[in-house]
């Protein structure tokens, strides 16, 4: 089965509200990256975490390798936050590859 399970698959928010995206891992991961895919299909880097939490503006991410999950919190959502968000994790088995989640399609409404 999939090693990275991302939820929800779709999320609608009103401007000014917030929510959280989550990725659960079926195995221990070494690190996680979060991306947003823009309208042109490019992957924009949001966070890289090997542990703990990071915050950047209205976004905050956490990664717990032992508990096998990562979260991305969005607060005070704006229209321009709309897009598809992906988590991708690096397995701890010595692999080099990023294992991607299936994405969360976020729509921010006025």
Partner 1 sequence: GPKVLQIPSHQIIDMGQMVTLNCDPVSNHLYFYWYKQILGQQMEFLVNFYNGKVMEKSKLFKDQFSVERPDGSYFTLKIQPTALEDSAVYFCASSLASIQDTQYFGPGTRLLVL
Query: Do 3 and 91 touch, CB atoms closer than 8 A?
Result: yes
- CA 44 from chain centre, in angstroms, equals 11
Which residues within the stretch 88-107 sit at the binding site for partner 1 (CB under 8 A)? 88, 90, 95-103
Binder to partner 1 among 13, 19, 24, 48 (CB under 8 A)?
48
Between the alpha carbon of residue 34 and those of residues 55, 109, 110, the distances in Å are 12, 22, 25
Task: Decide if residue 19 touches partner 1 (CB under 8 A).
Answer: no
Binder to partner 1 among 11, 13, 20, 43 (CB under 8 A)?
43
Residues engaged in binding partner 1 (CB under 8 A): 2, 30-31, 33, 35, 40-43, 45, 48, 50, 86, 88, 90, 95-103
């Amino acid at each position: 089965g999939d090693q990275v399970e991302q939820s929800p698959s779709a999320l609608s928010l009103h401007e000014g509200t917030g929510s959280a995206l989550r990725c659960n891992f079926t195995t221990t991961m070494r690190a996680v990256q979060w991306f947003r895919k823009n309208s042109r299909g490019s992957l924009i880097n949001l966070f890289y975490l090997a542990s703990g939490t990071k915050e950047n503006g209205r976004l905050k991410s956490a990664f717990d390798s032992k508990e096998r999950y990562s979260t991305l919190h969005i607060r005070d959502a704006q229209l321009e936050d709309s897009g598809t968000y992906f988590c991708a994790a690096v397995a701890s088995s010595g692999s080099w590859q990023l294992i991607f989640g299936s994405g969360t399609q976020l729509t921010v409404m006025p």
